[in-house]
């Protein structure tokens, strides 16, 4: 499957996950997961708080996928997104978050993964992108998320998911062989 088709399918999944009849069943909800709804560990990453939130994350996904397209193929990209999603879904239990919806943690993970792959392949700009990401995440951990983003998505930005995603992306790039992704 071409990456272009892959991205279209991924975006369609995001739109379907946003349907009012599905979205409440897919969000990451601590109590629901504890009560046995384990799919939410993964699906909390594919649904969003509102359509603006989905549009913001979809645009970022297309841009990040384009920037790092030389480093992956569709099957490996799916594996990477799955790994990051599951780790975020489990990692959120180490935080005080009780409810989460959004793809931004995964976006931070695939961006971090792409930065490391750029550095490993000696692609210009890899270090600069990684330092920029580290500054952004450090800023968020200290000062919190963007107020304008919070107004658009209607909830506090889950900066914990950004941190977990970025760390997972970096570790994945360092331990998984490039041919797998």
pLDDT digits over 118-162, tens only?
999 999 999 999 999 999 999 999 998 788 887 888 788 899 999
pLDDT digits over 35-89, tens only?
999 999 999 999 999 999 999 999 999 999 999 988 988 888 999 999 999 999 9
Cα–Cα distance, 96 to 118 (Å, whole number): 34
Cα–Cα distance, 102 to 44 (Å, whole number): 7
Please name every residue paired with 99 in a beta bridge, in sequence order, or none if there are none.
29
Cα–Cα distance, 85 to 72 (Å, whole number): 17
Helices (H), the chain: 3-17, 23-26, 30-34, 40-43, 51-67, 74-91, 104-120, 126-143, 147-153, 159-175
157 and 165 Cβ atoms separated by less than 8 Å: no
Cα–Cα distance, 22 to 25 (Å, whole number): 5
Give the per-residue pLDDT at 29: 97
Element spanning 29, H or E: strand 28-29
Go through the domains of the chain in sequence order and give each one's CATH number.
Answer: 3-180 (1.20.1540.10)
Give the per-residue pLDDT at 180: 61
In SS3 terms, 164-179 reads as: HHHHHHHHHHHHCCHH
pTM passes above 0.85: yes
- Interior angle at CA 29, CA 111 and CA 81, nearest 5: 25
Cα–Cα distance, 76 to 85 (Å, whole number): 14
């Amino acid at each position: 499957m071409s990456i272009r088709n892959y991205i279209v399918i991924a975006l369609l999944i995001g739109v379907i996950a946003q349907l009012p009849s599905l979205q409440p069943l897919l969000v990451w909800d601590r109590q629901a997961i504890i009560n046995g709804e384990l799919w939410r560990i993964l699906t909390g990453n594919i649904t969003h708080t509102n359509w603006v939130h989905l549009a913001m994350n979809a645009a970022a996904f297309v841009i990040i996928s384009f920037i790092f397209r030389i480093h992956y193929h569709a099957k490996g990209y799916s594996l990477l997104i799955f790994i990051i999603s599951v780790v975020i879904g489990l990692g959120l239990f180490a935080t005080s978050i009780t409810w989460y919806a959004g793809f931004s943690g995964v976006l931070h993970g695939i961006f971090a993964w792409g930065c490391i792959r750029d550095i490993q392949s000696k692609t210009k700009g890899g270090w600069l992108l990684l330092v920029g990401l580290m500054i952004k995440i450090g800023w968020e951990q200290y000062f919190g998320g963007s107020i304008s983003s919070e107004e658009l998505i209607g909830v506090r930005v889950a900066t914990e998911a950004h941190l977990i995603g970025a760390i997972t992306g970096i570790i994945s790039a360092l331990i998984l062989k490039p041919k797998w992704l």
